[in-house]
Amino acid sequence: MTTQDPEAPEGVDLDRPNAARIYDWFLGGDANWAIDRQFGEQAVKAFPMIKTVARVGRDFLGRGVRYLARNGIDQFLDLGSGVPTVGNVHEVATAVNPDARCVYVDNEPVAVAHSQILLEKEGVAGRHAVLHGDLRDPADIWKRALDTGVLDPNRPIGLIMVGVLYFLGPDEPVAQTIQQYLSLLPSGSYFLSSHLTSDGMQAMADAESRESIIKQYNQSSTPIHLRSRAEFTTFFDGLELVEPGIVYLPEWHPEEMESKATKKLANDPAFVGHICGLGRKP
């Protein structure tokens, strides 16, 4: 496919691979283009376990959403939601509570277009919504999310930023942006997030392979920026951390594990290189 591909949604950049579409390819989806698949194939050659790591990240999202739904959260704001694939937030949440609602937000046109198609195909476009927007603008995203009529700002909301914050650069005010969102949420809301970490990476046997993939991403339209556990922990300032706190993905509520991918790495949780956490707003 080319940059003139008539099937591509308006605004799609087909000159460079994109993280949302690459992730979709890792998970076995079809909302990707040749340039994304070429990137993915190179990444697999450099780090053969990368598809498993991607699946572990998706599994964490599912466990987090199920935990929230079982604890009374029935509305979600998923920022950087990506391309729809197995275990989307609204599907996981409504399996627990049929009345659950979700607003998806992404800045990748392919992700937004496919999300809208999925909601319309399932006949739930009125109960859930998708927005094309940048999470860097909390005021705009919050206003537009409420304008959909899907979310009630007077009741607790599950704010999700899973697998997206490492696409924000080191010079961007990530902590302040998160705090802006948290200030808008009502008491009893939750913040669910994950992040690639630099902690311990140099000690890993495959550190060179991982660094080569990061260099790959840095040549794409969505470069990656790793952060330490200490920095990631500051994103939860003012919140009550849910046990077990800030941990590697396979360590977060392992009793809820369902996929073979996550179970496979349960004995070596640091291997995934991702940390995560869930915090509740008092």
Which is more confident, 177 or 206?
177
Rounded CA gap, 203 and 59, in Å?
A: 26
CA distances from 247 to 6, 252, 275 (A): 44, 6, 5
CA distances from 239 to 183, 215, 242 (A): 11, 34, 9
Name the pLDDT band for 147 (thresholds 50, 70, 90).
very high
Number of domains composing the chain: 1
pLDDT at residue 2 in the model = 37
Q: Coil, strand, or helix at residue 77?
A: strand
Range of the structural domain that residue 64 is part of: 20-281
Q: Tell me whether residue 116 is in a domain.
A: yes
Q: Tell me whether residue 14 is in a domain.
A: no
Q: Tell me whether residue 6 is in a domain.
A: no
pLDDT at residue 254 in the model = 86
Report the 10 Å Cβ neighbour count for 172.
13
Q: Tell me whether residue 85 is in a domain.
A: yes
Q: Tell me whether residue 9 is in a domain.
A: no
Report the 10 Å Cβ neighbour count for 6.
6
Tens digit of each residue's pLDDT (9 = 90 or more) over 79-111: 999 988 878 999 999 999 999 999 999 998 888
CATH number at residue 48: 3.40.50.150
Tens digit of each residue's pLDDT (9 = 90 or more) over 213-230: 888 888 887 889 999 999
Residue 174 has pLDDT above 60, yes or no: yes
Residue 271 has pLDDT above 70, yes or no: yes
Residue 205 has pLDDT above 70, yes or no: no
Q: Tell me whether residue 13 is in a domain.
A: no
